[in-house]
Amino acid sequence: MPSVDTEKPLESLENTKTHPLLPFLQQQSATSLTRLYQSPSSCLSIFRLLAPVERQIVMNILWLESAMSPSTMAAWVTVDGKKLYERSLETLSSLHILQQYPIKLLLNSTFKASLRHAITGGGKTGSFGVPVARDPKHAPPSISVLDGYALERWETILHYMVSSGTGQYPSKPSTGVLYLLKESGLMSGHFQSAEPVITSEGFQFLLQSPHEQLWELLLQYLQMVERRSMDLMEVISFLLMLSTMELGREYSTEQLSQTQKAMLDDLRDYGLIWQRRSSTKRFSPTRLATTLTSSSEASLPTPPGASTGTGAAADGSVTAAGGGGGPGSATGLNAPIPSPSRGLGSGSQQGFIILETNYRVYAYTDNPLQTAVLNLFVSLKYRFPNLVVGSITRESVKRALSNGISAEQIISYLVTHAHPQMRKFNPMIPVTVQDQIRLWELEKNRMKSDGGFLYTSFQSQADYEYVLNYAKELGVVLWENSAKRCFFAQEEGHNNIKSFIERRSGTAGKI
Amino acid sequence: MSSLLCVVIDLSIEQWHSSTDFSVSDLFTHLIPFLNAHVAASNDNQLAVFAALPGTSQLLYSSTDDQSQSLASGHNSYPQFQVLDETVVNRVIIHLDTLPDQDHQAPCSLVGALTKALCFINRLTLDHNANTSNAEGLEPIALPDPRILILSVSPDITSSYIPIMNSIFSAQKLKVTIDACQLFGTDSVFLQQAAHLTGGSYLHLEHREALLQYLTMTFLPSPSVRKAIAVPTQDKVDFRAACFCHKNIIDIGFVCSVCLSTSARVFYLSHQIPDENSPASECVTSSGAAQGRVLD
């Protein structure tokens, strides 16, 4: 909860997470970024991804025609905010949004023009997608259809990952997705020959929030696009355009470039867009796409258009009840979809895990994916139609740790998916359980190995101390025992110590 | 991190007529990009726009409205902006057109609009608490950074001193920041106090052609951002109060020691001071002060 903390007034501002796309953009050249900034929708989306202070700096100089001197702007900055302000300027400058920093504060002229167009509603046609008129033959897909589709696609990918190597073979995602999963190192194995197996990165990936998962995959996609020699900026620009589109509306593919048309197939596989047939000239973005640049924390709902989100969720519950809890419709309720408005609609449905101080876990879910993810670190005992019971044991946590999952990830997963009843407690997760999970992780790290050399057989105590002091100055001594006149030093210092000993006597020490 | 902004626009017909260099349409030219900029900053940002019209106050736009109505030719701008801009402008035109002629001279219902804005914030706070499973038993969590921006053109209506002060106290309780901008005319004493008491910013506009820049630099940053990038604050605040008897703003007055009501003239207090037998809590200083216990 971003409440105001009186002791550290800027804490809430400083703790804002950098969006994963921004570091990727920072690596791009100024010319390609400027090309990206030609589209108002891209500028608007990137503007949204910035931190609050960065956004304010951009807005402050957006409407100015001439450059502002940094000292004028710095006069507005509070003493506490100085560091934050300078860091923000550097981020903006590395994104090439600010030009000629630190001599003066001036927005990139392309960025300035595009963002002005975005905010005042001018600019070239079609930057925010070209909606098409209603198709007389087919009604446009309803929002619940879109949600269901996106969810089904996304869960297929995750479920495939989580059940790989367990001997079960759920429905496979398309080859494009499989290729991406392997390229990203989330799964390993020889393509097409053997079944790919999930890696430790893959396990970590599963415990992230859907929003982070989506962006991690998309970033991998962007890197793959570079290798496929597609135009990277057009790809990013299309993704950002999708994020500004309206849910439940159909858009035309006519204005898209060749690259962007090629992307439609991939994005359909990931569940970002919906098309009736792959040949149709129209597509609808799903909630996964339209919330790409929303904040990842679904803490405060009721965004514009929330009422439609609520409606969709209500639809979902009706279908679930009517369909007797069929797997497709019922999962729609529990599964987190990266959308704040969804959070509003099914606010109480979001969390489903109850964890007791006796390490027992009760998960109110019938979603096979959520059960499978829980199975990563919980030893499951019973399954009921809407409830899974298990307990966190040393073995189950050890298994997770050996898969590369960290204790923090387990705890944060439990926190994010905690049942509303759990949220009344403070702290939410029982301290005993939290500490025990951390202790189990520490157990794994009991031993630390260091390569090095043991120096023994010093002829006199003086010799020993003399060499030991030298080694201590180098900072490489790991263990010493003056009674036995020996010490152990790291590998890096060996050559120095060796020559030191040789220089001193030639025969004084044996190594 | 989301932020909630309520904008109250003073559309006093009399005052806008008297202004020569700045018209209502100029105001909206500057205001609309400002509103868009607020919505642009984050998907979770919420916005409500209220109009204070002569004799009445109206909600022009709120981001919790149903926005499913389709706009046919909307591909040059972000759909949300388009809905926002058209709704605000259309509703202003409708409300001004349907205003009865005799109402044109009536004082502007700033208090009404301000109260509606507070109710709106309160409703969202309750919704928010209900949704975050904080519904029962726990102290309601205030929304992060709610604030109200008042764009005023009218001089203070001294008869609304008590309701405005009451609104300020409600705002303080809801942790709402009130910002105020006097577009033209004389400085507003009440709005200065409102901004001062709620930690907001009061601005008397000097260069009206640069309104958008003023709005962006002073009123766009949410209270949490203001801790890093400062906004202009008042160097002096007019703390004068209006007396409860004649509703005039007074420099020196008499204060009832029981109910703390202010009066310009001493005899209103003296001839009705309760005798020693009646409980002190029942203060009957004057008929006006009976409902005016604002400083509890």
pLDDT of the residue at B129? 73
Judgement on whether residues B26 and B79 belong to the same structural domain of the protein: yes
Close Cβ partners of B285 (under 8 Å, ≥ 6 residues apart):
B244, B256, B258, B259, B261, B263, B268, B269, B272, B273
Angstroms from A73 CA to nearest CA on chain B: 9
In the prediction, which pLDDT does B48 show?
92
Q: Which of A302, A292, A273, A123 is nearest to A211 (CA)?
A: A292
Same domain, B27 and B134: yes
Nearest CA in chain A to B73: A131
Whether the predicted pLDDT of A128 surpasses 60: yes
Compute the distance between CA of residue B233 and CA of residue A344 in angstroms, rounded to an integer. Answer: 37
Tens digits of per-residue pLDDT, A86-124? 888 888 999 998 887 778 888 888 999 889 888 887 666
Please provide the DSSP assignment of B189-221 as one string. HHHHHHHHHTT--EEE-S-GGGHHHHIIIIISS
Is B144 inside any structural domain? Answer: yes
Q: How far B24 CA sits from the closest chain A CA (Å)?
A: 18
Name chain B contacts of A125, Cβ cutoff 8 Å. 75-76
- Domain membership flag for residue B161: yes
Cross-chain Cβ contact B133/A423 below 8 Å: yes
More confident: A448 or A323: A448
CB contact under 8 A, B78 and A424: no
pLDDT beyond 50 at A3: no
Residues B82 and B21 in one domain: yes
Residue range A310-314: mean pLDDT, rounded: 35
User: Residue B233 falls within a domain, yes or no?
Assistant: no
A52 neighbourhood in chain B, CB within 8 Å: 1, 41, 221-222, 224-225
Per the CB < 8 A criterion, the answer to whether B236 and B217 are in contact is no
Among A41, A56, A63, beta carbon nearest to B225: A56
Q: How distant is the Cα of B212 from the closest Cα of chain A, in angstroms?
A: 8
Contact B2 A300 (CB under 8 A): yes
Rg (CA), chain A: 28
Q: Is residue B232 part of a domain?
A: no
Is B235 within the bounds of a domain? no
Q: H or E segment at B50?
A: strand B46-53
Cβ contacts of A143 on chain B, cutoff 8 Å: none
CB contact under 8 A, B230 and A78: yes
The distance of B183 to chain A (nearest Cα, Å) reads 19
Beta-bridge partners for A252: A282
Amino acid sitting at position A174: S
pLDDT, position B178: 93
- Whether B25 and B168 map to the same domain: the answer is yes
Domain that holds residue B156: 4-227
- Using a CB-CB cut-off of 8 Å, the residues of chain A touching B138 are 424
Q: Which residues of A touch B41 (CB under 8 A)?
A: 47-48, 52, 55
Burial class (CB in 10 A: 0-12, 13-18, 19+), A297: middle
- Token pair listed for B101: 């002629």
Chain A hits for B225, CB-CB cut-off 8 Å, are: 13, 52-53, 56
Which class for A226: exposed (0-12), middle (13-18), buried (19 or more C-beta within 10 A)? Answer: exposed
| Together in a domain, B278 and B217 | no
- Give dist(CA B131, CA B113) in Å, integer: 27
Question: Is B246 found in the same domain as B152?
Answer: no
B1 vs A contacts (CB less than 8 Å):
2, 12, 16, 52, 295
Which residue segments constitute the domains of chain A, with CATH numbers given?
17-120 (no CATH), 143-290 (no CATH), 350-444 (no CATH), 452-504 (3.30.70.2610)
Q: What's the gap in Å between the CA of A358 and the closest CA on chain B? A: 24
Please give the C-alpha separations between residue B209 and each of A91, B183, B234, in angstroms, as whole numbers.
32, 11, 22
**Which of B202, B227, B252 is a domain's end point?**
B227
CB contact under 8 A, B225 and A293: no
Q: Are B158 and B289 found together in one domain?
A: no
> Nearest CA of chain B to the CA of A416: how many Å?
13
Cβ separation A81–B127 shorter than 8 A: no
Query: What is the residue-level pLDDT of chain B in tens, covering all 296 positions?
Result: 678 899 999 988 888 888 888 888 889 999 999 999 998 888 778 899 999 988 888 899 888 776 555 554 555 678 788 888 888 888 999 988 888 877 777 788 899 999 999 999 988 888 777 765 554 445 566 667 889 999 999 888 888 888 999 999 999 988 899 999 999 888 888 999 999 999 899 988 888 888 999 999 899 998 888 888 888 887 788 888 888 777 788 888 888 777 777 877 765 444 455 555 444 444 444 444 433 333 33
B13 in a structural domain: yes
Q: How many CB pairs under 8 A join A and B?
A: 185
Tell me if A10 and B42 make a contact (CB, 8 A cut-off).
no
Flag whether pLDDT at A85 surpasses 50: yes
* pLDDT value for A332: 31
Written as one letter, the residue type at B222 is S
Distance from CA of A356 to the nearest CA of B (A): 19
Q: Could you give the angle at the alpha carbon of A141 between the alpha carbons of A140 and A145, nearest 5°? A: 175
Chain A residue nearest residue B28, CA to CA: A120
Identity of the residue in A3, A131, A308 whose CB atom sits nearest the CB atom of B75: A131
Alpha carbon distance A225, A139 (integer Å): 34
Q: Is the same domain home to B93 and B179? A: yes
- Same-domain pairing of B57 and B118: yes
Q: Are strands B146-152 and B4-10 parallel, antiparallel or unpaired?
A: parallel
Residues 6+ apart with CB under 8 A from B109: B52, B53, B54, B55, B56, B57
Asked if the Cβ–Cβ distance from B225 to A52 is below 8 Å, we say: yes
Examine the domain organization and report whether B79 and B211 are in the same domain. Answer: yes
Q: In the block, which residue shows the tokens 């900026």?
A: A233
Residues B157 and B222 in one domain: yes
Q: Scanning every residue of chain B, which has its alpha carbon at the shortest distance from the alpha carbon of A5?
A: B224
Mind listing the pLDDT tens digit for each residue in A415-460? 888 888 887 777 888 899 999 999 998 888 777 778 888 888 888 8
Three-class DSSP category at A285: strand
Q: CB distance A304–B70 less than 8 Å?
A: no
- Judging contacts by C-beta atoms under 8 Å, the chain A residues touching residue B83 are 304
CATH number, domain containing residue B180: 3.40.50.410
Give the C-alpha separation, B174 to B97, whole Å: 35
**Residues in B touching A301 (Cβ below 8 Å):** 44, 128, 131
Report if residue B49 sits inside a domain.
Answer: yes
Q: Report chain A residues whose CB lies below 8 A from the CB of B141.
A: 1, 3
Closest CA to B67 of B80, B77, B52: B80
Round the average pLDDT of chain A to a whole number and report it: 77
Q: Which of A204, A205, A187 is nearest to A196 (CA)?
A: A187
Contact across the interface for A293 and B43, Cβ inside 8 Å: yes
Whether B122 maps to a domain, the answer reads yes
Instruction: Say which range, A171-175, A326-330, A417-421, B221-225, has the weakest mean pLDDT.
Output: A326-330
Residues B14 and B126 in one domain: yes
Q: Give, as one character, the DSSP assignment of residue B217.
A: I
Main-chain dihedrals φ then ψ at residue B147, nearest 5 degrees:
-155, 160
List, in sequence order, every beta strand (DSSP E) within A157-246: 187-188, 197-198
The whole-number pLDDT of residue A298 equals 37
Question: How many domains are there within chain B?
Answer: 2
* Reported ipTM: 0.82
Which comes out higher in pLDDT, residue A191 or A346? Answer: A191
The answer to whether the Cβ–Cβ distance between A63 and B213 falls below 8 Å is yes
pLDDT tens-place string over residues A16-63: 778 888 888 988 888 889 989 988 888 999 998 888 889 999 998 898
Per-residue pLDDT, averaged over A319-339, amounts to 33
Report the residue of chain B nearest A290, measured CA to CA: B43
Percent of chain A past pLDDT 90, that is, above it, reads: 8
Structure confidence at residue A344 (pLDDT): 31
Is the pLDDT at A154 greater than 50? The verdict is yes
